[in-house]
Amino acid sequence: MINFLTLFFSSEVSGPGGLFDIDATLPLIALEFVLLMVILNIILYSPLLTVIEERKEYILTKLSKASELLADANKMTTQYEAELTRVRSEAQLEISNSQKIHKEILDLEITMSQNYLDNVLDEITNDFEEKRTVALNNLEESVQSLCDDINTRLSI
């Protein structure tokens, strides 16, 4: 700290060439800075800013088109889902109606087949009864004739 104070007190400026020497170079440097800033703005920054603005507008238009397409896609999706639900319900109704009709047809055919089989069974049973009756009558006649033969032979 002592070195700093001695340096500060011993640095007396007795003319030009001090710490802040304001002469013609300072305004010249300021003018050069402003001139370079204007040149850079015209040459570099303006085209760069226009390109950035064009890209920004391009991106915004593409985003708006994409959002419109997405909205249309969502609308079409809901429309197709509603139509799919309607078609599925119609198909389910058609299937249930078809099942009812086929069940009724099957029940009718089963009833007709059962009636036919009952009739056939009745005919077979009646035919069997007739044949049994005829066979029993024939058997009875045969037995009677045998009995008569046996009786005649026994009586001899």
Question: pLDDT band for position 152 (50/70/90)?
Answer: confident
pLDDT at 6: 64
pLDDT at 98: 96
The domain of 131 spans 27-155
pTM value? 0.45
DSSP state at residue 23: S
**Helices and strands per DSSP (H, E), number in the chain:** 3, 0
Residue 21 located in a structural domain: no
Owner of token pair 């070195």: 3
pLDDT at 147: 87
Q: Summarize pLDDT for 97-138 with one digit per residue, the tens.
A: 999 999 999 999 999 999 999 999 999 999 999 999 998 888
Q: Summarize pLDDT for 2-37 with one digit per residue, the tens.
A: 666 565 555 555 555 555 666 777 788 889 999 999
Q: Summarize pLDDT for 53-63 with one digit per residue, the tens.
A: 999 999 999 99
Residue 11 located in a structural domain: no
Cα dist. 25→19, 22, 32, 33 in Å?
14, 7, 10, 12
Residue 17 located in a structural domain: no
Residue 22 located in a structural domain: no
Residue 50 located in a structural domain: yes
* Separation CA 146–CA 152 (nearest Å): 10
Residue 1 located in a structural domain: no
Say if residue 1's pLDDT is above 60.
no
How many domains are there within the chain? 1
Residue 144 located in a structural domain: yes
Three-class DSSP category at 8: helix
